[in-house]
């Protein structure tokens, strides 16, 4: 931000020895975002081939309804909404981590190949082993980590420079994408259709099992990212500055990479690659909260809201139900184009 | 257009290979191409004796092996030759036009534009004839080229990396839209599944005929603008000072690029990275003269494409890897090596 910071209104929450200092504007933005998410979630739960009223939805969620309405809301529609929220938040945080670490708004796991690598790992599990969901998560995680490691090492030349890493990632992404196309091509048509629908990033097949397992992973990873967020902000000033402030840079960076890739891989395993949410969410969050750098909580909330909205569009607004990833890639790609047009040209 | 004397460089500026070395290199490339053409007809999932291949080409009969040669390997080889040459020259054009060593019609999204347009033609308008969807491919390629050029131009001139990112962005958006179209139609999905991977297999030779005149026009255009492009390599101001008219040169180069990349995509689907690698090799052998770069690209690109195709047949015998996958695996490391160099912008 260009504005000079003359001291922003700050809230300090104290509980014994622990004190949390938060900016007032961030708190307000987060509250508004949460409200918007709640409204949109209720709307999403209402909409479908069997239309429900808002009262019925709230009653079903609080246990006031039984029978068909309860089944529709809790068993059919809620897993999807929960998945959109959880995965969106995970993607928002993952994007925020990479953008902060590489100090570049274009450093998106989808662009630098990590998502594509996760997809390759998961595809191999689907097509070769025909594995369970847990194996799928493992495959996606292994694929994403291996890609991250490969891209990092290839981009390393007396340190890693942001743009070099991005172009190396684009190369790796192209390679893995064509490998994925080939893997799909080798499969039977039915399996390939499923894999391709999943490859576009879809919440169609999401059931409570995946929400619970994916949610458990995310529930571990999000607090971990919260712990790392403070040194992460300090590292935005440069490694030397962070070191002088007492941050141990290498372990923190490793931790950030692991958490970031793991978040992306968890989502990819459950729903396929939902790209560009991780690119857009931190940027919108930063503009809304008017923070100097990337902040995690607003990014997570914006990610959840975007993902839910995109899934709503994909399911109910599009002429035929589409994978949510197609909506995010089209909208997010448009946003990336705008970003390139304004932001990148100013900086380069 | 005003005709221009070919741009000459001062002595010692860049070590330019002499005409002898260039000519010998071109001859060697031609020989290598001929060898690969023969190999491409000879090698395949079933072993067919060279004598049968000979008979198939010159004494046709109803023998089953002869069918395999005439209907399968020969079209594939000819397609590889033509599509490869088109991709190579398209790459050389886009690198010269954008002065960007990372430029490639695939990376910059031109292929994605063409294939999205073809999907629209096949899926929405029910066009099944290449004479019909060819025009869609041209339009898609042209629109994307102009978009990426606009997005990739910064106030200080053109940034290679921003342009690559613009290409990635366009590719992603159009890829998403294309998938949306394909997922709604299972038949179209199946028909375009192998086309999406970028392949020269199973395409009848008839696909090629409507495109050849356009390729010929594009080649003529490319060689026409080679002189002005040479001058523009030194910067727009220098080129203007030498009497180059920038707008017509760019326009002709963009038209040639559109015809080549759009046409190649319409026939073979998106085959990436060929246009990235080949001009660099050509520049490495022949120096910075665009005419020679184009001439070398015409020969080297089919060599790369046919070699990748033959490799894809041999590598996982008896199955096959589509040529687009092989070229991506060969080409992505080149992109990575280019960006790891000290001067990423040096062209």
Q: Is residue A270 part of a domain?
A: yes
3-state SS class at A47: coil
Q: Is residue A299 part of a domain?
A: yes
Peptide bond into A95 cis (omega under 30): no
Task: Sort out which chain B residues have CB atoms less than 8 A from A205's CB and list them.
Answer: none
In a domain, A286, yes or no: yes
Q: Chain B residue closest to A151 (CA)? A: B336
**Burial class of A16 by CB neighbour count within 10 A (0 to 12, 13 to 18, 19+):** exposed
Dist CA A268 CA B218 (whole Å): 43
Dihedral, B29, B30, B31, B35 alpha carbons, nearest 10: 100
pLDDT at position B237 over 80: yes
Q: Please report whether residue A100 resides in a domain.
A: yes
Q: Of chain A residues 267-286, which have a CB less than 8 A from chain B? A: 275-276
Indicate the range of A271-280, A322-331, B10-19 predicted with least confidence.
B10-19
Contact between A24 and A10 under an 8 Å Cβ cutoff? The reply is yes
Which CATH number do you get for residue A34?
Answer: 1.10.3470.10
Point out the residue among A166, A177, A193 whose CB comes nearest to the CB of B186. A193
Give the residue-averaged pLDDT of B97-104: 84
Summarize pLDDT for B289-303 with one digit per residue, the tens: 899 999 999 999 999
B177 in contact with A at a CB cutoff of 8 Å?
yes
User: What domain range is A119 assigned to?
Assistant: 10-347
Mutation site, B192, B336, B344, interface A, largest A CB count within 10 A: B336
| Residue A1 maps to a domain | no
Could you give the domains of chain B? 48-199+206-340 (1.10.3470.10)
pLDDT digits (tens, 9 = 90+) for B138-190: 999 999 999 888 877 765 666 777 788 888 888 888 988 888 887 777 666 66
- For residue A321, give the chain B residue with the closest CA: B184
The answer to whether B159 and A348 are in contact (CB under 8 A) is yes
A3 located within any domain = no
Instruction: Please tell me which residue of chain A has the smallest CA distance to B336.
Output: A168
Q: How far is Cα B307 from Cα B313, in angstroms, rounded to an integer?
A: 10
CB contact under 8 A, A154 and B168: no
Interchain CB contact of A185 with B (< 8 Å) = yes
CA distance linking residue B264 with residue B203, whole number of Å = 12
Q: Which of residues 88-107 of A touch B (CB under 8 A)?
A: 106
User: Which structure tokens are listed for B10?
Assistant: 């001062």
Cβ within 8 Å, pair B325-A111: no
Domain count, chain A: 1
Read off the pTM.
0.81
pLDDT at A213 over 60: yes
CB-CB: which of A164, A174, A344 is closest to B340?
A: A164
Query: Is residue A4 a part of any domain in this protein?
Result: no
| Interface A:B, Cβ pairs < 8 A | 144
Please check whether residue A2 lies inside any domain of the structure: no
ipTM above 0.90, yes or no: no
């Amino acid at each position: 931000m260009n504005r000079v910071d003359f001291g922003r209104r700050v809230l300090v929450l104290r509980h014994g020895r622990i004190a949390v200092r938060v900016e007032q504007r961030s708190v307000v933005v987060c509250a508004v975002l949460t409200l918007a998410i709640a409204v949109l979630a209720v709307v999403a739960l209402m909409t479908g081939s069997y239309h429900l009223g808002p009262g019925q939805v709230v009653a079903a969620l609080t246990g006031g309804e039984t029978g068909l309405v309860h089944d529709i809301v809790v068993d059919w529609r809620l897993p999807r909404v929960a998945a959109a929220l959880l995965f969106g938040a995970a993607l928002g945080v993952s994007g925020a981590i990479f953008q902060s670490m590489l100090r570049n708004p274009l450093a998106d796991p989808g662009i630098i190949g990590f998502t594509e690598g996760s997809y390759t790992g998961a595809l191999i599990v689907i097509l070769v082993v025909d594995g369970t969901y847990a194996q799928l998560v493992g495959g996606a995680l292994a694929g994403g980590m291996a890609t991250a490691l490969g891209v990092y090492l290839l981009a390393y030349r007396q340190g890693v420079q942001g743009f070099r890493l991005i172009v190396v990632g684009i190369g790796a992404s192209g390679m893995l994408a064509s490998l994925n196309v080939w893997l799909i091509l080798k499969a039977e048509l039915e399996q390939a259709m499923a894999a391709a629908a999943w490859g576009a990033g879809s919440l169609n097949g999401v059931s409570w099992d995946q929400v619970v397992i994916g949610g458990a992973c995310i529930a571990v990873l999000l607090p971990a990212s919260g712990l790392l967020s403070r040194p992460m902000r300090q590292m935005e000033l440069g490694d030397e500055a962070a070191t002088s402030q007492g941050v141990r840079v290498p372990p923190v960076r490793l931790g950030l990479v692991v958490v970031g890739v793991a978040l992306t891989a968890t989502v990819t395993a459950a729903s396929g690659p939902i790209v560009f949410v991780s690119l857009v969410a931190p940027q919108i969050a930063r503009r809304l909260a008017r923070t100097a750098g990337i902040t995690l909580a607003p990014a997570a909330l914006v990610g959840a809201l975007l993902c839910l909205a995109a899934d709503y569009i994909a399911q109910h607004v599009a002429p035929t139900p589409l994978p949510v990833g197609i909506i995010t890639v089209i909208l997010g790609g448009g946003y990336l184009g705008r970003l390139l047009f304004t932001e990148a040209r100013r900086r380069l | 257009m005003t005709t221009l004397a070919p741009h000459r460089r001062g002595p010692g500026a860049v070590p330019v290979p002499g005409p002898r070395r260039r000519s010998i290199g071109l001859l060697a490339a031609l020989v290598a191409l001929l060898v690969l053409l023969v190999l491409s007809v000879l090698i395949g999932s079933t072993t067919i004796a060279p004598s049968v291949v000979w008979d198939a080409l010159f004494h046709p009969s109803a023998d089953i092996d002869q069918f395999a040669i005439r209907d399968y390997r020969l079209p594939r080889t000819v397609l590889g030759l033509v599509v490869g040459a088109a991709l190579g020259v398209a790459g050389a054009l886009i690198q010269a036009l954008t002065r960007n060593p990372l430029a490639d019609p695939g990376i910059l999204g031109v292929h994605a534009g063409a294939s999205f347009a073809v999907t629209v033609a096949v899926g929405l308008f029910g066009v099944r004839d290449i004479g019909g969807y060819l025009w869609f491919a041209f339009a898609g390629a042209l629109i994307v080229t102009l978009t990426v050029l606009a997005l990739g131009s910064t106030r200080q001139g053109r940034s290679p990396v921003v342009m690559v990112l613009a290409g990635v962005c366009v590719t992603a958006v159009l890829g998403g839209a294309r998938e949306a179209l394909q997922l709604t139609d299972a038949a179209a999905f199946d028909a375009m599944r192998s086309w999406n991977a970028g392949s020269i297999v199973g395409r009848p030779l008839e696909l090629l005929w409507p495109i050849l005149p356009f390729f010929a026009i594009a080649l003529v255009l490319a060689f026409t603008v080679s002189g002005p492009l040479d001058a523009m390599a030194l910067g727009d101001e220098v080129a203007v000072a030498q009497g180059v008219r920038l707008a017509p040169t760019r326009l002709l180069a963009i038209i040639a690029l559109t015809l080549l990349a759009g046409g190649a995509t319409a026939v073979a689907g998106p085959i990436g990275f060929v246009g990235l690698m080949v001009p660099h090799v050509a520049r490495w052998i022949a120096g910075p003269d665009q005419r020679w770069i184009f001439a070398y690209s015409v020969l080297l690109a089919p060599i790369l494409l046919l070699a990748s195709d033959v490799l894809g047949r041999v590598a996982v015998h008896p199955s096959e890897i589509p040529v687009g996958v092989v070229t991506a695996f060969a080409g992505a490391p080149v992109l990575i090596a280019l960006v790891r160099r000290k001067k990423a912008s040096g062209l």
